[in-house]
Chains A and B, each alone.
Chain A
Amino acid sequence: MSATDETSALASSGQWSWRIVANHVAILAGLLGAWEIGARTGFLDPLFFPRPTDILAGFWRLYVTQGNIWDHLGLTVAEVLTGFVAGSVLGIGLALLVGMSDRLRRYLKPYVIISEATPRIAIGPVIIAAFGFGWTSKVAIVMLVCFFAPFVNTLNGMVNVDENEMDMMRSMRASKWQIFRKLMLPDALPEILGGLRLAMASALGGALVAEFIASNAGLGVLINQYTGVLNMASAFVCVLTLTVLGFFIFRGMEALDHWIVFWSDRRRTEQVSRRRARAWSERMEKRT
């Protein structure tokens, strides 16, 4: 379903050997070399293709000699993290509440569909008009962007509980809380995590768009300023920074998924059950 889920499938599809790595490096070097030469001879428009060496120099300038990117980067990351945590907690919490009641779920469904079709970032100007140009409006936009995917996925996960398992829990006289804690929640977790990944993937974009619309600090503003004066090399530096940031965010979410939904991976399952068995036997020993 989600694009981020499948990136890992794409990445793991090839086998790696030193020859393939060497080929990759050669291709990359060839591309960059052609780019550099093309830009130097005026064959490539420097507006579209700033020279790779210029971009490298830009990295050095922005990060070391001027060091002006750090504040903007920190601000954007803070916006993303705050908005993501607030939005996803709200989304998951609300979905868990709603998911407990059949009727509520039924009446909410049309509204969820409509809000799904609305491009969420599109509400940006309205929020900026309401909350002003500062920190609050950025966090509010990221929150909104991060709210829906966890909400919808959690709701879906709660709805798609296996009826037979539900009957079994009921016939063993499990309380409503026990059914929720032992059946519905673990069943829904993979999907909830999928929603979180989607949310995180769009959070960065949301923060940037909010900064583009109206702001005075943040990476989005920096990109806007640099392209405004047609300093493309520096703008590319910011974008490449975002690429690295996006990559780490993606890896981080993957690790979180791996850690929480341990039963999707056999090795992790064995590891966790071994640990649990040990804890259990220690407790039993203490008791005797």
Chain B
Amino acid sequence: MSAAVYTMLGRGVSAAKHLLVFVAFILTWEVAARLGLIDTVLLPRPAEIAAGIVELYVEKGSIYRHFAITFYEAFAGFVIGGGIGLALAAGSALSASFRRYVAPYAIVLNVTPGLALTPIVIAWFGFGYSSKIALGAIVCFFPVFVNALIALTRGDEDTIEMFRSLGASRWQTFMKLQVPQALPLVFAGFKIAITTALVGAVVAEFSQGTAGIGILMQRYAFALQMGNAIASLLSMSLLGLLLFYLIEILDDRIVFWRRDARMAAVSRRRRAKWDVRSNKTST
């Protein structure tokens, strides 16, 4: 009991310390900028950034639309690129010769910096959303593909043996053994991929675009309104965190057996369902 209180107290103290360090840092920055020690074109004062945040989020409220657009572009790109990556990885895991003949092209695609394709993708798909989505998909395809492939092919020999001796079909082995075993690593790939998809979407916006956080930031930066530019940059971090946690939540839901509490909850639920079903059959 008292131990719990102490840890809570300790956490509060450490949070306060963090806050103190943060405030001190911001204050030094502000003072240094006001004294002219920092070039405010390069790095605006914290007060300017705060003003930018207020302007974008409260006064004008213009950022929400751009935020939603970039979110949509990044997420759609992730879904398409990740879907293709997963499908190719599943095919490669099921058939060795498929893997042999697909792998070289995947490697070639990987060593090419995907962002180099930006102008080409824009020429292909036009100035609208589709070019941003396409670039996001191209950029985020590889991490998903490689993680899924490695996870699917890295099976425990003994378990596979057991499956075989119990007469499991190829498909059953794949669905009941390989896929669940692969899921944690696949999600690790998703986490890398979704931030990469965001980069792809934003870079495509820099190149050509009419809406989205990337274009918003570029406009402010080129108008030398650095406070607003940094405010949009911070919104981009927020967007990145949001996308990342989205995958994290999905990870927690789907790969429930990695955390004990979730595992217990899911098995309790399944047990209850099972009881209901067996009661029905017995009566």
Contacts and interface: CB of A to CB of B under 8 A. Distances in A.
Nearest to A227: B119
Interface in B202-249: 202-203, 206-207, 214, 217-218, 221-222, 224, 226, 229-230, 233, 236-237, 240-241, 244
Given A228-B119, A242-B112, A119 B199 contact: yes
B178 interface: no
B176 interface: no
Interface of B: 17-18, 21, 39, 41-42, 99-101, 103-104, 106-108, 110-120, 122-124, 142-143, 146-147, 149-150, 153, 188, 192, 195, 198-199, 202-203, 206-207, 214, 217-218, 221-222, 224, 226, 229-230, 233, 236-237, 240-241, 244
A81 to B, nearest CB: 15
Given A27-B101, A228-B119, A129 B224 contact: yes
A150 interface: no
A110 interface: yes
Contacts of A123: 233
Given A11-B107, A227-B122, 6 more contacts: A10-B106, A117-B237, A119-B240, A122-B214, A128-B221, A205-B116
Contacts of B224: 129
A270 to B, nearest CB: 28
A114 B241 CA distance: 8
A122 B236 contact: yes
B41 A125 contact: no
Contacts of B116: 204-205, 208, 219-220, 223, 238-239, 242
Contacts of B188: 1
B104 A125 contact: no
Q: Is the interface of B mostly helix, strand, loop or mixed?
A: helix
Contacts of B101: 23-24, 27
A130 B230 CA distance: 12
A243 B146 contact: no
A132 B239 CA distance: 28
Q: State the 5 A-B residue pairs at the shortest beta-carbon distance, nearest first.
A: A246-B111, A117-B240, A125-B221, A205-B113, A227-B119
B147 A209 contact: no
B124 A126 contact: no
Contact of A129 (B108, B110, B202, B226): B226
A117 B120 CA distance: 27
B204 to A, nearest CB: 10
B111 A247 contact: yes
Contacts of B114: 205
Nearest to A220: B116
Contacts of A177: none
Given A7-B110, A125-B221, A129-B222, A230 B123 contact: yes
30 contacts: A1-B188, A6-B146, A7-B107, A7-B146, A9-B150, A14-B100, A27-B101, A47-B123, A114-B237, A118-B237, A120-B199, A124-B206, A125-B217, A125-B229, A126-B217, A126-B226, A129-B41, A129-B221, A129-B229, A130-B39, A204-B113, A205-B114, A205-B115, A212-B203, A219-B116, A223-B116, A227-B120, A232-B123, A235-B120, A249-B111
